[in-house]
Amino acid sequence: MCHMKNQEESTLRICRLGRVAYDEALDLQLQLVELRQQDLIQDTILLLEHPPVITLGTRGKMEHIYREPRQLAADGVTIHKVGRGGDVTYHGPGQLVVYPIVKLYNRPGGIREFIETLEQAVISWLAEQYGLKPYTGHGKLTGIWIDDAKIMAVGLAVKQGVTMHGLALNLLTDLTPFSWINPCGLMKPVTSLHLLTQRQVDFRQAQDELAIRFADGLGEVFEWIERADLVDQAASLRRQLLSQKAHPAGSDQRGE
């Protein structure tokens, strides 16, 4: 499916981060967003899992979390208020989280079409690989649904033309923690690929197959980048960027 590169195409970098704490992943996203805004890196997609965490989006309400913070903490679940769209959701092991760091300038359709492209990549994968009938919700029913249950949450943010946050697809996710919240504030059930198919899902294979579909949907060829290389490059470029801001070209550095 992944096509040959022509002169008008750019290279999309995709990185498997493994299991990453929410704060650590957020910090990396913010670094990459700043670098992408300055055209110091290419479009990048992060594929990962989080340890158990509940996040509250810009429309999130604490009353949509049914357990006390101390109870959640005892079970190893943290709570974070974040700048993405949406209400409350849960992330945990077995859930594929997708964070696209993509510059929207020169992309027709803006954020809405960009989200639809990502959603269609997942919908086609679920339908073709597993024979399911997923669909996108409308209005408040954002994300991807199968029958009356949500299998993928969507919550993106755009900062100076660059996307961050993203998608959360339930593959092998333990769905019990979703009973501790009102997912997305909708009072609707949540499902997973494992629950629907009663099959063991290969997490690595799912990442590989979806990477191809994301790249094709975005019209880009892609290359894998290792986590260590991505983190080291981001840190190095950010140091350079901060140095340039502190000592802009043409400024007089001489003392009196």
Q: 131-152 pLDDT, tens per residue?
A: 999 999 887 788 999 999 999 9
Q: Write down all domains in the chain, each with its CATH number in brackets.
A: 11-239 (3.30.930.10)
CB 137 within 8 A of CB 145: yes
Proportion of the chain above pLDDT 70, given as a percent = 92
Q: 82-93 pLDDT, tens per residue?
A: 877 677 889 999
Q: Which one is catalytic: 184, 193, 210, 225?
A: 184
Question: Is 15 known to be catalytic?
Answer: no
Residue 246: in which H helix or E strand, if any? helix 227-246
pLDDT at 213 over 90: yes
Q: What is the pTM of this model?
A: 0.89
Proportion of the chain above pLDDT 90, given as a percent = 67
Specify the pLDDT at position 56: 86
pLDDT-based confidence at residue 250 (cuts at 50, 70, 90): low
Specify the pLDDT at position 248: 76
Long-range contacts of 202-210 (CB under 8 A, 24+ apart): 203/49, 203/94, 203/96, 203/171, 203/172, 204/16, 206/96, 206/171, 207/16, 207/47, 207/96, 209/125, 209/129, 210/47, 210/96, 210/98, 210/121, 210/122, 210/125
CA 18/CA 227 separation, integer angstroms: 9
pLDDT-based confidence at residue 177 (cuts at 50, 70, 90): very high
- Nearest CA-CA partner of 153 in 251, 36, 56: 56
Q: 147-175 pLDDT, tens per residue?
A: 999 999 998 999 999 999 999 999 999 99
Specify the pLDDT at position 244: 83
Specify the pLDDT at position 4: 35
Mean pLDDT, to the nearest integer, of 187-191? 88
Mean pLDDT, to the nearest integer, of 241-255? 67
Specify the pLDDT at position 140: 75
Specify the pLDDT at position 7: 35
pLDDT at 30 over 90: yes
Of residues 3 and 88, more confidently modeled: 88
Listed range (38-42, 53-57, 89-93, 234-238) with the worst mean pLDDT: 53-57
CA 133/CA 26 separation, integer angstroms: 32
Alpha-carbon distances, residue 46 vs 20, 35, 108, 225 (angstroms)? 11, 15, 23, 10
- Mean pLDDT over the full length of the chain: 89
